[in-house]
Amino acid sequence: MVSCLGQQRRADGRWCSVTHDVIVIGSGAAGLTAALALAERLRVLVIAKGTLTSGSTAWAQGGIAAVLDAGDTFENHVRDTMVAGAGLNRRETVEFVIERAPHAIDRLLELGVPFNTDGPNLHLTREGGHSHRRIVHVDDATGWAVQAALLSAAEAHPNITLLPGRACIDLITGRHEERYSGSGRVWGVYALDEASGKVEAHTARATVLATGGAGRVYQFSTAPRGATGDGIAMAWRAGARVGNMEMMQFHPTCLYNLEVKNFLITEAVRGEGGRLINPRTGKRFMAFYDERLELAPRDIVARAIDSEIKKFGLDFVHLDISHMPPDFVRGHFPTIHDKLLGLGIDMTAQPIPVVPAQHYTCGGVMIDLDGRTDLPGLYAAGECTESGLHGANRLASNSLLECFVFGEAAARHILAHWDRFDAPPPVRGWDESRVTNSDEEVVIKQNWTEIRRFMWNYVGIVRTTRRLERAQHRIRLLFDEIDDYYGHFRVTTDLIELRNLLQSADLIVRSALRRHESRGLHYTLDYPESLAESRDTVLVP
C-alpha cells in the first residue's frame, strides 16, 4: 500500500490512496456518533460532502423521542412506533432502539447539548403518533444543537480527522484491488476533492455509511441540497440489498412560500395545539380523516392535506396556533417565529400557509442490529438504512434516535471484532485517462429537473400503477443518457449527485411497483387495501 496525501500522484500518474483504520462517510448525527465511539481505540476519517454541517441533522427542528416520563413505558413507545409503521416494523429492532434511548440522551447531555428543562427534569413535548410526552428538545432547533455538540467533540478528538469538501463516487471493493477479487469486500471509497477536482482513494479496514436519505429526488422536499441518496446508490452498485424504498415520508407541513422553499414547520406545532384549517371554509378538516385529528401519524395528515388541496383547488392549507398565548408560541418556537416574522407572518396572530413535502427516506440499505450490511467491511447507520425501526412510516422524532443507537452499535461491533479485520490490500487509483472536461453542463441541470418533476407527479403522496410505469420508462431512458455522459466526462459533484439521484429514483419506483397494497406511506389507488400479512420489499442487485 502506498501511503500518501490525496493530492499527490504515484509514479504512474494515478492518484494514490490514503489509509485509515475506519472511514465514516457522513458528518451528521449517525456518522459523528460512530466516529466518537470508534475513536476510543482507532484512527477515524470522517468524510463529508460540502461542509461538515450541511447534512440533515442540523435541519432537524423537532427533537429526540425517549421514555423519560414516569407515566410512560418502553412498551408504549414500541406500540406507538409499530402503529405508525403500519406493522411493517421489525419488533426486535424497535425494542432495541427504544430501550437504548435514555442512554443516548445521557450521552448527549454529557456532550453539552442544552436540552430544554422543566424544573429539575427535561422538558418533554408531544408530537403526532405519540401517546405520551416524550420528545426531548432544544427549543425548535434540536438538530443544530446536537450537530454542534457532536462536531465540537469530534474536532477536539486526536483520533478523528474531519475531511469536508469530498463527494463520494463509489465504494472501493474487491474488484478494485490491484489483484482483482470478486469477494465484495469493502475497503473504502473513491471521493472527489471538490476544490481541486481530483479523485482520491481512501482505504480502511472498515467503512461506515452515514450519508442520509434521498429526499432531493422529489421536486418539493425539506431535505438539504445534498440529500441525493449517495450512500444508498453506492451500496446498491457495490452489491448490497436495499429495502422498502417505496416508503418515502412526506411531512404534512412545509411552509408555502414562493420565495423561501423547503422551510419545515415542525410536528411539534401540532403537538402543542396547532390546528389545520381549510382556508376556503375556515374550518378544521382533520375530523373528516382521522379521530386523532392533527395528532394522527404523518402519512394520514399528509394525505388529508393533499386531499383538501385537490378537492377545493387550493394552493395550501392553514396551520393555526394563534389561539394559544403569544408568549407560549414564541417560547416554544422561537426559530420558526422569527423566520416567519421576517416573511411577514406573525404566527401568534395569523395562520401559517403549509403544504406537504418529502421529508424522510424510511427505506434504504439493509442492516442488522450491529449496523452490518450484506457486504463484508461495510456498516451503515441513520437515514440511508433500512433497520426495521420505521416500517411503513417513521414515527416523529425517532430519526435522530436511530442515528445515535445505530451509530454506536456499528462502532461497538467494529471494536469488538477488530482483530478479524484485515488490512486493506493495494487498490487501483482512479483512472481518468479516457475522459475530458464537460462542455455540456446544461445536460446535468435538465436531467436533475426532469427527475425531480416526474418523481413528484408520478411517485408522490398518492400513486397509481400507470404513473409508476411512466416514471420507470423515463428512468430507463435517462440511465442510458447519464451513463454515456458519465463515461465521457470528468466527474463533478453535480454529475455524481445526478447519477445517485437517478439510481435512488429507480429503486423507489421498482419497490413501489412490487407492493400490491396500500400500507403506511405507500398509497396507491390501484390497491387501496392493506394485505393481511405485512412484508418488506427487498431488492437484490
User: What b/e string do you get for 462-488 counting C-beta neighbours within 10 Å, with b at 16 or more?
Assistant: ebeeebbebbbebbeebeeebeebeee
> 3-state DSSP: the chain helix, strand, coil percent, rounded to 5?
35, 20, 45
The C-alpha cell at 270 is 401540532
Q: Is residue 504 within 8 Å of 455, Cβ to Cβ?
A: no
CA distances from 511 to 304, 497, 502 (A): 24, 21, 14
- For the chain, list the domains and their CATH numbers: 18-246+362-420 (3.50.50.60), 250-356 (3.90.700.10), 441-526 (1.20.58.100)
pLDDT for 435 equals: 82
**Mean pLDDT, residues 519-538:** 96
Mean predicted confidence (pLDDT) in 86-92:
96
Q: Residue 15: which pLDDT band, with cuts at 50, 70 and 90? A: very low
Which of 6-10, 256-260, 434-438 is the least confident region? 6-10
CA distance 511 to 478: 18
Distance CA 273, CA 263 (A): 20
Averaged pLDDT for residues 258-271 = 83
Mean residue pLDDT of the chain comes to 92
**Which among 114, 530, 14, 142 has a CA at the least distance from the CA of 6?**
14
Q: State whether residue 454 is helix, strand or coil.
A: helix
C-alpha cell belonging to residue 7: 493530492
Percent of the chain at pLDDT > 90 equals 79
Angle between helices 465-488 and 493-514 (to 10 degrees): 150
Cβ count near 398 (within 10 Å): 28
Q: What is the rounded distance in angstroms from the CA atom of residue 512 to the CA atom of residue 245?
A: 8
Q: What is the pLDDT of residue 10?
A: 46
Mean pLDDT of the 151-168 span:
96
Confidence of residue 54 (pLDDT cuts 50, 70, 90): confident
Strand-by-strand arrangement of the 364-366 sheet:
385-386, 364-366, 242-243, 538-539
Where does the pLDDT of residue 366 fall: very low under 50, low under 70, confident under 90, or very high at 90 and above? very high
How many helices (H) does the chain have, and how many strands (E)?
14, 20
Query: Is the pLDDT score of 378 beyond 70?
Result: yes
pLDDT tens digits along 421-445: 999 999 998 988 778 887 777 888 8
Q: How confident is the model over 416-420, as a mean pLDDT?
A: 97
- pLDDT for 11 equals 43
Tell me whether residue 102 is exposed, middle or buried, using C-beta atoms within 10 angstroms of its C-beta: 0 to 12, 13 to 18, 19 or more.
middle
pLDDT at residue 18, as a whole number: 62
Task: Say yes or no to pLDDT of 188 above 50.
Answer: yes
241 is catalytic: no
Q: pLDDT tier at 17 (50, 70, 90 boundaries)? A: low
Q: Which residue from 73, 63, 70 is spatially nearest to 104, judged by alpha carbons?
A: 63
Give buried/exposed letters for 42-74 (b at 16+ CB in 10 A, else e).
bebbbbbbbebbbbbbbbbbbbbbbbbeeebee
What are the tens digits of pLDDT across the range 284-338? 999 999 999 998 877 889 889 988 988 898 989 999 999 999 999 999 999 999 9
Of the candidates 146, 185, 121, the residue with the CA atom closest to the CA atom of residue 62 = 146
**Nine-digit cell string for 212:** 442520509
Task: State the pLDDT confidence band at 245, using cuts at 50, 70 and 90.
Answer: very high
End-to-end CA distance of the chain: 30
Q: What is the pLDDT of residue 4?
A: 37
- List pLDDT tens digits, range 401-416: 999 999 999 999 999 9
> Distance between CA atoms of 104 and 112, rounded to whole angstroms?
13
Q: Which residue in 356, 373, 389, 385 sits closest to 461, CA to CA?
A: 356
Assigned C-alpha cell, 185? 469486500
Please tell me the predicted confidence (pLDDT) of residue 3: 32
Distance CA 325, CA 146 (A): 29
Q: Could you tell me the pLDDT band of residue 1, with boundaries at 50, 70 and 90?
A: very low
Question: What pLDDT sits at residue 12?
Answer: 47
E strands in 362-428: 364-366, 378-380, 385-386
* Residue among 191, 173, 193, 192 nearest 183 (CA): 173
Distances (CA, A) of 402 to 64, 344, 380, 405: 9, 36, 11, 5
13-18 average pLDDT score: 51
CA dihedral (81, 82, 85, 90) positive or negative: positive
Q: What is the mean pLDDT of residues 478-503?
A: 93
Region 372-396: what's the mean pLDDT? 96
- Residues 193-241 have pLDDT tens digits of 999 999 999 999 999 999 999 999 998 888 888 999 999 999 999 999 9
Given 298, 303, 452, 463, which residue is catalytic? Answer: 298
Band (128; pLDDT cuts 50, 70, 90): confident
Q: Which residues pair with 160 in a beta bridge?
A: 44
What is the greatest pairwise CA distance in the chain? 73
Question: Can you give the pLDDT at residue 8?
Answer: 41
Least confident of 61-75, 133-147, 260-274: 260-274
